[in-house]
Amino acid sequence: MKTTKKAVSAEAIVSSEATAESAPGMVSVQPLRRFMDGDVFRTPQDEAFTVSRQRAADLKANDLVALVGDAPDNKMSPQPDTKG
């Protein structure tokens, strides 16, 4: 069976989204413009993909992506949990 690059990248997107839900510090982003992300060419028509928070900040600073996934909750919660 021959697999195409699109099929392989679609599988990678699904697995990376599952990783984002379980891995702290990962965020889902949607491309706004065309750009090369390593060896992958990202376009606005692509599905959202998962990157580290630092990489997301870099891409967003260059107006290449928009954040679509929820960022992990702040570990320094302003309201401490108290024992009742």
Residue 25 pLDDT exceeds 80: yes
pLDDT digits (tens, 9 = 90+) for 7-18: 444 444 444 545
Residue 48 pLDDT exceeds 80: yes
Across 33-50, average pLDDT = 94
Percent of the chain whose pLDDT exceeds 70: 55
Residue 27 pLDDT exceeds 60: yes
Q: Is 25 left (phi over 0), alpha (psi -120 to 50) or beta?
A: left
pTM for the predicted model, two decimal places: 0.57
For residue 49, give the 3-state DSSP assignment. Answer: strand
Q: How far apart are CA 65 and CA 39, in angstroms?
A: 17
Record the tokens describing residue 54, joined without a space. 């630092």
